[in-house]
Structure 1
C-alpha cells in the first residue's frame, strides 16, 4: 500500500485512537494479559476502521455530488471488515460471550451511523455516544483475562474522562467562541472531578488537571496540534493512574 493510499485508508479522527487504546490497555493490564488479547486488539481496530469507512460511504452518498467521493471508502471498508471477520469469528467461537459485548455496543454504533448519514458527526451527542462502547472495551479485555466483569470502577473513570474530552475539544476548536459550551464543559469537569474522587481519591490528581485545562485553555489561541498533544498526555495520565491504584 502506498503512503498516499495508506493516509486515505487510516481514519483522520486522531482523538479516537487514544479512546480506542487506553480502555483496552487498562482492562488488559488490570487483569491477566493473554495471547487472545492480541487478535482481539487487531479485531477491535479493524472493526473501528471498517465502521468508519462504511459510515463515510453512507454520508458521502447522501451529501456529495462527486460520485467518486463515496466510492473511495468501499475498498477499505470491505478490506477492514474482512480482516475483522477473519479474527473476530474465531474469537467468538472461543469466547461466545464476546457476542453479548458486540450486541451491547451495537445500538451505539447504529446511532453513530445515523449521525454520519445525517452529516452530523460533529454533534455533541454523537461524540458522547461513541465514548460508551470504547470505554466498555475495558470490561471486555478484563473479562478476557480474569473471567469476570469486575472492572466497573476503572471503566467509569475512563468514561468520565473521555466524555469530558468531547465538549472540551469543541471549546478549543469548533465552539471556541461559545460561552455556553465553555460553561458546560467546566461544569462537567467539576462534576467529573467529584465523581472520580468518589471512585478513588487518587483520581483527583488527573481529574483536577483536566478541570484546570478545561477552565484555563479555551480562548488562549492554543494550536490544534498542541491540543492533540495535551489530550494524549491526559490519556496517558489516566492510564497510569488507573493501573497504579488498581481500582
Structure 2
C-alpha cells in the first residue's frame, strides 16, 4: 500500500513538473559538472599560476544549485508545454519555484564570478533553440536533444572555471578542453544510439548516424591516444563504446527489442566509467 502511494506521489510530482521523468538526462546533468569540479580541485585547469585559486565555497554552492534548479525549471516548462491547456496551471508552482531559486543563486554566482558571463554567447543560442522546440511540443526532436546535450556537456568547463572564480575561459590548459570533447562526444553519441534502439529502431538512418559518429570519434580518440594526449584506458573504453553502437542494433534485429531499462543502465555505467577515467587520467 505504501509502495503504491509512493508511486502515485512520484507520478503526481512528474505530472506537475516538479521532477523530470527523463532518467537518461540525470547523468548528463550531473557528470560533466562533477568532472569539471574535480579537475578544478586537482588544480589542472589553469594556464597561469594566478588562476590557481582555491575553490570558492560560495561558488561551489551557488553554481551547482543554479545549474540543477535551472534544469528543473526547464523540464517544468517542458511539462507545461506538453500538458493540456486546462491542466497547465498545475505546472506553474514548479516553474515559479525552480525559476526563482535558479535566478537568485544565479545572481549570487555572477556577482561572485562576473567572468562567467563570458559564456552567455555560447549558451544563449542553445537555450533559445531548445526552448523553441519545447514550446512547439517537440522536446524529443534532434535539435532539442543535441542543444540540451551540448549545453550539459559544456558545464564541465563552466564548473571547472566557475568554482575557483577563474578570470577567463581562454586561460586554461588543453586538458580541460580534451575532457570536455571526450565526455561531450559520448553524450552527443547517445542521442542517435538511443534513438536507434528505442523510438526509431525501424529507421536505419539513426543506426547509421550513430555508427558513423562513434566510429569517427573512436578514430580521433585513438589517434590522440597514440600521440599521448589521451590515456590508454579512455581509448580502450571508447572502442567498447563504438562497438556497442554497432553491435546492439544488430543484436536487437536478430533477437527482438532490448528493454529500455537495460539500455539506460548500460549508458549510466559507461558514462560513469568514462567520467572516472577522465578524472583519474
Tell me the TM-score normalised to structure 2 length. Answer: 0.79
Structure 1: 5+ residue stretches without partners: none
SS of 1:217's equivalent in the other structure is helix
- Indicate the residue corresponding to 1:16 in structure 2: 25
2:146 corresponds, among 128, 135, 159, to 128
User: 1:21-36 maps to which residues of 2 (within 5 A)?
Assistant: 21-32=30-41, 33-35=55-57, 36=59
| 2:230 match | 200
Task: Report the counterpart of residue 214 of structure 1 in structure 2.
Answer: 245
| 228-237 or 51-60, which deviates more | 51-60
Q: Which moved more, 1:144-153 or 1:164-173?
A: 144-153
How far apart are the structure 2 equivalents of 1:135 and 1:233? Answer: 17
The residue number in structure 2 matching 1:84 is 102
Residue equivalent to 2:13:
6
- Who is 1:243 aligned against? 279
Q: Is the 8 A contact 1:160 1:196 kept in 2?
A: no
Aligned to 1:185: 210
Deviation of 1:55 (Å): 3.3
Larger Rg: 2
CA shift digits 1:10-39 (9 cap, x unpaired)? 011111111111110111001125422232
Contact 2:183-2:274 at 8 Å conserved across structures: yes
Q: How many residues align?
A: 239
Instruction: Answer whether contact 2:31 2:272 (CA < 8 A) is retained.
Output: yes
After superposition, the C-alpha distances for 1:129-152 in whole angstroms (9 at most, x for unaligned) are 111111111111111245253211
1:100 deviation in Å?
A: 2.5
Does 2:90 align with 1:67? no
Does residue 116 (structure 1) correspond to residue 116 (structure 2)? The answer is no
> Which of structure 1's runs of 4+ aligned residues deviate more than 3 A?
2-8
TM-score (norm 1): 0.89
